[in-house]
Structure 1
Amino acid sequence: MSGLKPVRTRGEGDVRLVFSAYSHPGKVRKNNEDYFFIPTDATRVKDLMMVADGMGGHNAGDVASRMVVEAIVEYYVENSHRVTSVEQAKDLILNSIQQANIKVYNQSQARDIYKGMGTTLTLAYFFDHRVCIGHVGDSRAYLVRDRSVTKITRDHSLVQELLEEGKITQEEVDNHPQKNIITRALGTASQVVADYYEIELKDNDIIVLCTDGLSNHVDLNKNIDLFYSLESLDEIASTLGKKALEAGGVDNVTIVMAKYSCATEKR
């Protein structure tokens, strides 16, 4: 799952979504334990995108991230057609995450080679002019709107907790020796608590999901011009990915994006 993926579009009535993704193993690691999903012409799910950053030895991380993404896509295929309200959309997200968690956890218990494996997950489901986001771990979701970037999700990480408790400063976060320790993941226990966020979308909003291979090296706020100067999401994703590699590339780098357009909001 590495390399730039082509833009995919979906249009229904006055709404149009354009998707793009970039994933690269980085300069240090041989395997890419990140996994992602964006809609393509071949997929039955058209309103969902996600990133997962696997962890665990003996290639178990890439097993965990792939299992979670594939389990959630399967769950959406079976259940999303019944969603008629935003409350049901929230239930769909949280239930799909629980089901995926159980699959990974059971696999980790069944085979020693997979013991202790887990993965982050950040997903975005587009429903009724909203984006509904489910989140576990330290992969992130951002909103790009009106030439500014807002981080939607809260990292489930040790340094985030230390920061909130006032034990370290924001400046100390970047170089903290325990920066990579996450406090919540899918697959490490029989149950998982997922955060949920919901945002009403505006014309030309861009939603960005990424693993920490990007967020640790690239400040999206300092690269806001990219979102408005480049021609396509493909170019934006590729440029951001290359910046992460140039800044070190010590981890896998994955970015997925969707641009929302709504004709009724245009003047």
Structure 2
Amino acid sequence: MRIEACAVNHKGLVRLNNEDNFYLSGSFIAKELVDQPSCLTKLLTDQSPVIAAVCDGVGGAQAGEVAAYTVVSALGALMSGFNQVHDTEQITIAMRRVSQRIASLRQNDTESMGATIVMACIQGERLLITNVGDSRAYLMRSDRLYQLSEDHSEVQRLYNMGIITREEMNTHPRRHVITQYLGLPETELLIEPAYSEIIQLQPGDRILLCSDGVTDMLSDEDIAQILQNVPNCETAAQTLVTSALQNGGKDNTTALLLQVLQENE
């Protein structure tokens, strides 16, 4: 199985610095380039597990930027030896280790410093999604969009309890409050990553990993329309980010798209 991948990042039109970062099979945004728009494309094979992730930093000043970079720069070593998509224990251990590393960088107990993560692990034709925080993963298959991640957010908790509707989630005043993130001190909460079911990939499938800079500016219907109508992987990823910017670009924006190629592509 061959996979075309493209990661696109932009700091947005409002934020002064970029707290997003991504990881794509060993590559991530270097510290000195993090505030510049970036685009990375790769052609991946099933010779080794494919690991891809998007991180969104949390915290004031440079804290979020440092936290996101800490995650992506450590991910390769933390996931080395990973070769079974059902090995959620290894992933949970890796997430908690990098979370502890970020927590140790905090200057004081009152400083907020952390990062969300959404990660795709592909071994052969099998896909597993894991996430901590509210960065999302979607699967586009046969013109239908499925959310594979589970938001760790206050509005998701209220929705799960039946207190608010899905429509109310988009306008609720606490919609940006996350309940878990990497860097949360274990004295407050031991993080529990969310996991999708293992998915058998098919030619033509598209997996989107993105920060809330995309999902706050684009509805699921907007995302689905772009993925339906833009067949080229790089162009689709660029279009997602450009559309988010056109709709306000209020946050750092990252879209990482994985496209399972047909045999003749």
Q: What are the residue-to-residue correspondences of 1:75-224 with 2, within 5 Å?
A: 75-76=78-79, 78-80=80-82, 83=83, 85-88=84-87, 90-108=88-106, 111-112=107-108, 115-190=111-186, 191-197=190-196, 198-224=198-224
TM-score (norm 1): 0.83
Structure 2 length-normalised TM: 0.84
Percent identity for Structure 1 against Structure 2: 32
1:27 maps to 2:29 = no
Structure 2 unaligned blocks of 5 or more:
28-41
Name the CA distance, whole Å, in 2 between partners of 1:119 and 1:216: 17
Structure 2 counterpart of 1:178, which letter? R
The Cα of 1:217 is off from its aligned counterpart by: 1.5
Alpha-carbon distance between aligned partners in 2 of 1:201 and 1:99, rounded to the nearest angstrom: 29
State the alpha-carbon separation in 2 of the partners of residues 187 and 35 from structure 1. Answer: 16
Deviation at 1:187, TM superposition (A): 0.5
Identify the structure with the greater helix proportion: 1
How many angstroms apart in 1 are the aligned matches of 2:114 and 2:153? 14
Task: Provide closer, same or farther for how the CA distance between residues 70 and 24 of structure 1 changes in structure 2, counting only shifts above 3 A.
Answer: same
RMSD (Å) for aligned C-alpha atoms: 2.3
With over 3 angstroms needed to count, the CA separation of the structure-2 counterparts of 1:48 and 1:55, relative to structure 1, is same
Tell me, what secondary structure is at the counterpart of 1:186? coil
Runs of 4+ in 1 over 6 A off after TM superposition: none
Would the aligned equivalents of 1:94 and 1:134 in 2 still touch at CA under 8 Å? no
1:20/1:32 Cα in 2 relative to 1: closer, same or farther (>3 Å)?
A: same
SS in 2 for 1:245: helix
Residues 74-118 of structure 1: per-residue CA shift (max 9 Å, x gap)? 222x323xx3x4433x3332222122111111222xx23993201
Paired residues in the alignment total: 242
- Cα gap change, 1:231/1:201 in structure 2, threshold over 3 Å: closer, same or farther? closer
Consecutive unaligned residues of structure 1, counting only runs of 5 or more, are: 1-14
CA distance in 1, matches of 2:81, 2:49: 13
Secondary structure of the residue that 1:94 maps to in structure 2? helix
Once residues 85 and 206 of structure 2 are traced to their aligned partners in structure 1, the CA distance between those partners, rounded to angstroms, is 20
Q: Which residue of 2 aligns with 1:241?
A: 241
